[in-house]
Amino acid sequence: MSGTSPGFFRPNDQVTREQAAIMIARAMNLKLPATPDAARATLAKVFVDTNQMNVYALQSIAAVYKAGLMEGSPLDPQAKKTMYAFNPRASITRAEMAVILQKMMIQMKKLSKQ
């Protein structure tokens, strides 16, 4: 796990959704898209807020989304093609983290599907 910038770890700060994506992608050793631009192109097909995602997080966000570990909030579920907001700078909730950990454990075969 890395700090927020050189020399700073900030252990008492909230964790953002994009920071969580980075941690999860690293912990699961997920295959990342080749470049941030490739990740942004993929994410832009699903998420309306890719312009709010930090460049350093794009590949991890794409990887955790592709792995089915993280998703976004639907903007208009009635639309022909539903678009989502990832909310990269929002703090991740305990509930979201619990769901993600359950999905990770199922993928690692440490927990059976229920």
Whether pLDDT at 1 is above 60: no
Per-residue pLDDT tens digits for 31-48: 999 999 999 999 999 999
Model confidence at 62, in pLDDT bands (50, 70, 90)?
Answer: very high
The domain limits of the chain are 17-107
What is the predicted pLDDT for the residue at 7? 74
Model confidence at 82, in pLDDT bands (50, 70, 90)?
Answer: confident
> Where is pLDDT greater, at 99 or 5?
99
What is the predicted pLDDT for the residue at 81? 85
Give the list of residues 6+ apart from residue 65 with CB closer than 8 angstroms, or none: 43, 46, 71, 86
**C-beta of residue 83 within 8 angstroms of C-beta of residue 49:** no
Q: Compute CA distances 48 → 12, 43, 91, 95, whole Å.
A: 30, 9, 18, 23
What is the predicted pLDDT for the residue at 3? 56
3-state secondary structure the chain: CCCCECCECCCCCCCEHHHHHHHHHHHCCCCCCCCHHHHHHHHHCCECCHHHCCHHHHHHHHHHHHCCCCCCEECCCCCCCCCEECCCCCECCHHHHHHHHHHHHHHCCCCCCC
